[in-house]
Amino acid sequence: MASERTKPLTDVIALAGESSERGSCVDDLPKRIERYGKAKHRTGLNIQYLSNPVDLCIDEVGYLKRRLEACGNWLVFRNYYTVGETRLAKARFCMKHLLCPLCAIRRGAKSLAAYLDRFNEITAKNPRLVPYLLTLTVTNGEDLQERFDHLVNSWKSYQKRRRDYLDKGRGFNELCKVEGAVFSYEFTFSEKGWHPHLHAIILVDPDQLIDFDFKASGLKKSQSRLSQEWLSITGDSSIVDCRPIDTQDPAKSFAEVFKYALKFSDLPPKENYHAYAILKGKRLQGSFGLFWGVKVPDKLTDELLDDELPYIELFYKYTDAGYSVTHHHHHTGGERPQVRIIEPLDDRSDLALEKADKFRSTAWWLIEKRERESQ
Residues 187-246 that bind Zn ion (CB under 5 A): none
Which of 71, 290 has the CB closer to Zn ion? 71
At 260, give phi and psi (nearest 5°): -55, 150
Q: What is the rounded CA–CA span in Å between residue 123 and residue 125?
A: 5
Q: Which one, 71 or 201, has the nearer CB to Zn ion?
A: 71
* Pair 46, 275: CB distance under 8 Å: no
Cα dihedral 81, 85, 90, 91 in deg (nearest 10): 120
**Residues 14-53: x where in contact with Zn ion by CB under 5 A, - otherwise, as a string:** ----------------------------------------
Nearer to Zn ion, 93 or 187 (CB): 93
CA angle centred on 12, ends 118 and 301, rounded to 5°: 60
Give the closest residue to 91 by CA, choosing from 317, 345, 355, 330.
317
Does residue number 103 form part of the binding site for Zn ion (CB under 5 A)? yes
Site stretch for Zn ion (CB under 5 A), options 55-63, 69-77, 204-212, 310-318 = 69-77
Pick the piece of the chain touching Zn ion (CB under 5 A) from 34-42, 103-111, 299-307, 310-318.
Answer: 103-111
User: Per-residue string for binding with Zn ion, 75-94, x by CB under 5 A?
Assistant: ------------------xx
Task: State the minimum distance, in angstroms, from the CB of residue 110 to Zn ion.
Answer: 13
- Helical H runs in 93-142? 101-125
Does residue 312 belong to the site contacting Zn ion (CB under 5 A)? no
Taking the least distance from each CB to Zn ion, the nearer of 165 and 364 is 364
Residues 6+ positions from 344 with CB-CB distance below 8 Å: 327, 350, 353
CA 4 to chain centre: 21
Query: Smaller CB distance to Zn ion: residue 71 or 262?
Result: 71
- Is 100 among the residues that bind Zn ion (CB under 5 A)? yes
Regarding 71 and contact with Zn ion (CB under 5 A), the answer is: yes
SS3 49: helix
DSSP 343-375: ---SSS-HHHHHHHHHHHHHHHHHHHHHHHHH-
Stretch that binds Zn ion, among 97-105, 116-124, 300-308, 310-318 (CB under 5 A): 97-105
Pick from 207, 212, 183: nearest CA to 292: 183
Q: How far is the CB of 102 from Zn ion (least distance, A)?
A: 5
**In whole angstroms, how close is the CB of 99 to Zn ion at the nearest point?**
8
| 64 part of the interface to Zn ion, by CB under 5 A | no
Q: Of the two residues 248 and 374, which places its CB atom closer to Zn ion in the complex?
A: 374
In the sheet with 24-25, reading across from the earlier edge strand, the strands are 24-25, 85-91, 74-80, 311-319, 322-331, 339-340
The reply on whether position 99 binds Zn ion by CB under 5 A is no
Binding site for Zn ion (CB under 5 A): 71, 93-94, 100, 102-103
